[in-house]
Amino acid sequence: AQKVTQAQTEISVVEKEDVTLDCVYETRDTTYYLFWYKQPPSGELVFLIRRNSFDEQNEISGRYSWNFQKSTSSFNFTITASQVVDSAVYFCALSEYSSASKIIFGSGTRLSIRP
Amino acid sequence: DTGVSQDPRHKITKRGQNVTFRCDPISEHNRLYWYRQTLGQGPEFLTYFQNEAQLEKSRLLSDRFSAERPKGSFSTLEIQRTEQGDSAMYLCASSPSSLLAGKGAGELFFGEGSRLTVL
Protein backbone atom coordinates (compact mmCIF):
# COMPACT_ATOMS: atom_id res chain seq x y z
CA ALA A 1 0.00 0.00 0.00
CA GLN A 2 1.13 3.53 -0.65
CA LYS A 3 1.33 6.04 2.16
CA VAL A 4 2.65 9.55 2.64
CA THR A 5 3.44 10.93 6.09
CA GLN A 6 3.90 14.58 6.90
CA ALA A 7 4.64 14.57 10.59
CA GLN A 8 4.71 18.34 10.94
CA THR A 9 1.12 19.49 11.27
CA GLU A 10 1.91 23.18 11.63
CA ILE A 11 5.02 25.29 11.36
CA SER A 12 5.32 28.99 12.13
CA VAL A 13 8.41 31.02 11.33
CA VAL A 14 9.33 34.65 11.02
CA GLU A 15 9.72 36.09 7.57
CA LYS A 16 13.13 35.58 5.94
CA GLU A 17 13.83 32.42 7.94
CA ASP A 18 14.51 29.19 6.09
CA VAL A 19 12.03 26.39 6.66
CA THR A 20 12.02 22.70 5.74
CA LEU A 21 8.87 20.64 5.34
CA ASP A 22 9.38 16.92 5.87
CA CYS A 23 7.81 14.13 3.84
CA VAL A 24 8.26 10.40 4.27
CA TYR A 25 6.62 7.91 1.94
CA GLU A 26 5.96 4.19 1.71
CA THR A 27 5.46 2.21 -1.47
CA ARG A 28 6.14 -1.28 -2.78
CA ASP A 29 6.60 0.03 -6.30
CA THR A 30 10.14 0.26 -7.60
CA THR A 31 9.25 3.20 -9.81
CA TYR A 32 6.96 6.00 -8.74
CA TYR A 33 6.42 9.73 -8.75
CA LEU A 34 6.61 12.16 -5.86
CA PHE A 35 4.95 15.57 -5.81
CA TRP A 36 4.49 18.70 -3.78
CA TYR A 37 1.32 20.74 -3.98
CA LYS A 38 0.47 24.07 -2.32
CA GLN A 39 -2.96 25.03 -1.03
CA PRO A 40 -3.09 28.78 -0.29
CA PRO A 41 -5.85 30.32 1.83
CA SER A 42 -7.97 30.71 -1.31
CA GLY A 43 -8.23 26.92 -1.33
CA GLU A 44 -7.19 25.91 -4.84
CA LEU A 45 -4.42 23.30 -4.88
CA VAL A 46 -1.45 24.24 -7.03
CA PHE A 47 1.15 21.83 -8.42
CA LEU A 48 4.73 22.71 -7.44
CA ILE A 49 6.99 19.88 -8.50
CA ARG A 50 7.14 16.27 -9.71
CA ARG A 51 10.06 13.92 -9.19
CA ASN A 52 10.43 10.39 -10.54
CA SER A 53 11.99 7.69 -8.44
CA PHE A 54 15.05 7.11 -10.57
CA ASP A 55 16.19 10.70 -10.48
CA GLU A 56 17.62 11.56 -7.08
CA GLN A 57 19.12 14.85 -8.10
CA ASN A 58 18.07 17.68 -5.87
CA GLU A 59 16.16 20.45 -7.53
CA ILE A 60 16.19 24.17 -6.94
CA SER A 61 13.68 26.66 -8.25
CA GLY A 62 14.23 30.15 -6.97
CA ARG A 63 13.73 30.09 -3.20
CA TYR A 64 12.37 26.54 -3.31
CA SER A 65 14.48 23.40 -3.19
CA TRP A 66 13.66 19.74 -2.89
CA ASN A 67 15.79 16.96 -1.43
CA PHE A 68 14.89 13.43 -2.53
CA GLN A 69 16.58 10.57 -0.69
CA LYS A 70 15.48 7.13 -1.74
CA SER A 71 17.52 5.47 1.02
CA THR A 72 15.37 7.12 3.68
CA SER A 73 12.17 7.33 1.59
CA SER A 74 12.05 11.07 2.07
CA PHE A 75 11.25 14.00 -0.18
CA ASN A 76 11.75 17.18 1.82
CA PHE A 77 10.94 20.70 0.71
CA THR A 78 12.90 23.76 1.78
CA ILE A 79 11.87 27.37 1.39
CA THR A 80 14.77 29.78 1.71
CA ALA A 81 14.20 33.35 2.92
CA SER A 82 10.52 32.71 3.51
CA GLN A 83 7.93 35.36 2.68
CA VAL A 84 4.43 35.99 3.99
CA VAL A 85 3.04 34.89 0.60
CA ASP A 86 4.46 31.42 1.26
CA SER A 87 1.85 30.92 3.98
CA ALA A 88 -0.26 27.95 2.88
CA VAL A 89 -0.83 24.27 3.45
CA TYR A 90 1.72 22.15 1.62
CA PHE A 91 1.00 18.58 0.59
CA CYS A 92 3.46 15.89 -0.36
CA ALA A 93 2.06 13.18 -2.63
CA LEU A 94 2.93 9.90 -4.32
CA SER A 95 1.73 7.95 -7.34
CA GLU A 96 2.63 4.89 -9.35
CA TYR A 97 4.89 5.58 -12.29
CA SER A 98 3.08 3.88 -15.15
CA SER A 99 0.12 6.21 -15.34
CA ALA A 100 0.29 8.64 -12.40
CA SER A 101 -3.47 8.30 -12.28
CA LYS A 102 -4.10 7.83 -8.56
CA ILE A 103 -2.21 10.33 -6.47
CA ILE A 104 -2.02 9.71 -2.74
CA PHE A 105 -1.66 12.85 -0.65
CA GLY A 106 -0.23 13.30 2.82
CA SER A 107 -2.19 15.14 5.49
CA GLY A 108 -0.37 18.39 4.85
CA THR A 109 1.75 20.88 6.77
CA ARG A 110 0.26 24.28 7.51
CA LEU A 111 3.01 26.88 7.14
CA SER A 112 2.55 30.33 8.63
CA ILE A 113 5.06 33.04 7.89
CA ARG A 114 4.90 35.91 10.39
CA PRO A 115 5.98 39.38 9.27
CA ASP B 1 -11.32 31.88 -17.31
CA THR B 2 -10.00 28.60 -18.69
CA GLY B 3 -9.37 26.78 -15.41
CA VAL B 4 -11.33 23.95 -13.83
CA SER B 5 -14.73 25.12 -12.67
CA GLN B 6 -17.01 23.47 -10.15
CA ASP B 7 -20.64 24.06 -9.34
CA PRO B 8 -22.13 24.70 -6.87
CA ARG B 9 -19.41 26.10 -4.66
CA HIS B 10 -21.43 25.47 -1.52
CA LYS B 11 -24.28 23.09 -0.86
CA ILE B 12 -26.17 22.65 2.39
CA THR B 13 -28.55 19.74 2.51
CA LYS B 14 -30.46 17.63 4.96
CA ARG B 15 -29.49 14.07 5.73
CA GLY B 16 -31.09 11.66 3.30
CA GLN B 17 -31.26 14.08 0.38
CA ASN B 18 -29.42 13.56 -2.91
CA VAL B 19 -26.87 16.07 -4.18
CA THR B 20 -25.06 16.45 -7.47
CA PHE B 21 -21.87 18.35 -8.21
CA ARG B 22 -20.65 19.35 -11.62
CA CYS B 23 -17.09 19.79 -12.85
CA ASP B 24 -15.97 21.40 -16.09
CA PRO B 25 -12.32 20.55 -16.74
CA ILE B 26 -9.80 22.44 -18.81
CA SER B 27 -11.01 21.82 -22.34
CA GLU B 28 -7.96 20.07 -23.77
CA HIS B 29 -7.53 17.78 -20.75
CA ASN B 30 -8.82 14.26 -21.20
CA ARG B 31 -8.25 13.10 -17.62
CA LEU B 32 -10.62 14.12 -14.88
CA TYR B 33 -10.37 13.31 -11.18
CA TRP B 34 -12.58 13.59 -8.12
CA TYR B 35 -11.09 13.94 -4.66
CA ARG B 36 -12.63 14.56 -1.25
CA GLN B 37 -11.00 16.69 1.40
CA THR B 38 -12.05 16.99 5.03
CA LEU B 39 -10.80 19.60 7.47
CA GLY B 40 -7.15 19.21 8.31
CA GLN B 41 -6.61 16.34 5.90
CA GLY B 42 -5.14 15.92 2.48
CA PRO B 43 -7.28 15.19 -0.56
CA GLU B 44 -8.49 11.59 -0.78
CA PHE B 45 -8.76 10.00 -4.21
CA LEU B 46 -12.29 9.01 -5.21
CA THR B 47 -12.22 8.25 -8.93
CA TYR B 48 -10.78 9.23 -12.28
CA PHE B 49 -11.81 9.25 -15.92
CA GLN B 50 -9.85 8.98 -19.11
CA ASN B 51 -12.19 10.63 -21.60
CA GLU B 52 -15.59 9.07 -20.83
CA ALA B 53 -14.22 5.87 -19.30
CA GLN B 54 -14.13 5.60 -15.52
CA LEU B 55 -10.85 3.74 -15.05
CA GLU B 56 -10.46 3.59 -11.31
CA LYS B 57 -12.65 3.96 -8.25
CA SER B 58 -11.57 4.13 -4.65
CA ARG B 59 -13.07 1.84 -2.05
CA LEU B 60 -14.09 5.10 -0.38
CA LEU B 61 -16.67 5.48 -3.13
CA SER B 62 -19.58 3.59 -1.63
CA ASP B 63 -22.59 2.57 -3.68
CA ARG B 64 -24.24 5.86 -2.71
CA PHE B 65 -21.68 7.70 -4.82
CA SER B 66 -21.71 7.72 -8.59
CA ALA B 67 -19.68 9.68 -11.06
CA GLU B 68 -20.19 10.12 -14.77
CA ARG B 69 -18.48 11.81 -17.64
CA PRO B 70 -20.88 11.06 -20.47
CA LYS B 71 -19.20 12.82 -23.38
CA GLY B 72 -15.70 13.00 -22.07
CA SER B 73 -16.08 16.66 -21.19
CA PHE B 74 -17.83 17.74 -17.98
CA SER B 75 -18.39 15.32 -15.12
CA THR B 76 -20.98 14.93 -12.38
CA LEU B 77 -20.62 13.42 -8.94
CA GLU B 78 -23.86 12.38 -7.30
CA ILE B 79 -24.27 11.41 -3.67
CA GLN B 80 -27.50 9.65 -2.82
CA ARG B 81 -29.06 9.52 0.65
CA THR B 82 -26.47 11.85 2.09
CA GLU B 83 -25.08 11.24 5.56
CA GLN B 84 -23.41 13.67 7.94
CA GLY B 85 -20.11 11.92 7.28
CA ASP B 86 -20.32 13.02 3.67
CA SER B 87 -19.71 16.63 4.73
CA ALA B 88 -16.48 17.63 3.02
CA MET B 89 -14.97 19.62 0.19
CA TYR B 90 -15.29 17.77 -3.12
CA LEU B 91 -12.45 18.63 -5.43
CA CYS B 92 -12.28 18.12 -9.15
CA ALA B 93 -9.06 18.17 -11.11
CA SER B 94 -8.05 17.61 -14.69
CA SER B 95 -4.83 16.81 -16.50
CA PRO B 96 -3.56 15.94 -19.92
CA SER B 97 -3.23 12.24 -20.58
CA SER B 98 0.19 11.06 -19.52
CA LEU B 99 0.60 8.29 -22.04
CA LEU B 100 4.28 9.03 -22.16
CA ALA B 101 5.83 8.60 -18.76
CA GLY B 102 6.98 11.91 -17.44
CA LYS B 103 5.04 14.09 -19.82
CA GLY B 104 2.82 16.11 -17.50
CA ALA B 105 2.34 13.05 -15.31
CA GLY B 106 0.57 13.88 -12.09
CA GLU B 107 0.33 17.58 -12.76
CA LEU B 108 -3.26 18.06 -11.76
CA PHE B 109 -5.12 21.32 -12.20
CA PHE B 110 -7.63 21.66 -9.40
CA GLY B 111 -10.87 23.58 -9.20
CA GLU B 112 -11.89 25.57 -6.15
CA GLY B 113 -14.04 22.74 -4.87
CA SER B 114 -17.65 22.22 -3.87
CA ARG B 115 -18.25 22.34 -0.15
CA LEU B 116 -20.98 20.02 1.08
CA THR B 117 -22.58 20.39 4.49
CA VAL B 118 -25.05 17.70 5.54
CA LEU B 119 -27.25 18.68 8.45
Q: What is the pLDDT of residues A7-61, one digit of tens each?
A: 999 999 999 999 999 999 999 988 999 999 999 988 899 999 999 898 888 888 8
Decide if B40 touches A, using CB distance below 8 A.
Answer: yes
Question: For an interface test with B, which of A39, A45, A46 has the most B Cβ atoms less than 10 Å from its Cβ?
Answer: A45
Of all residues in chain B, the one with the smallest CA distance to A110 is B40
CA nearest neighbour of A44 among B28, B104, B65, B35: B35
Q: Which residues contact A84 (CB under 8 A, 6 or more apart)?
A: A15, A113, A114, A115
More confident residue, B75 or A102: B75
| CB–CB contact A33 B93 (8 Å) | no
Low-confidence ranges of chain B (pLDDT < 70): 1, 98-104
Are A44 and B110 a contacting pair, CB within 8 Å? yes
Considering only CB atoms, which chain B residues are within 8 Å of A45?
43, 91, 93, 108, 110
Distance from CA of B86 to the nearest CA of A (A): 18
Q: Which residues contact A112 (CB under 8 A, 6 or more apart)?
A: A10, A11, A12, A13, A87
pLDDT value at position B102? 55
Q: What is the arithmetic mean of pLDDT over A55-77?
A: 92
pLDDT value at position B62? 83
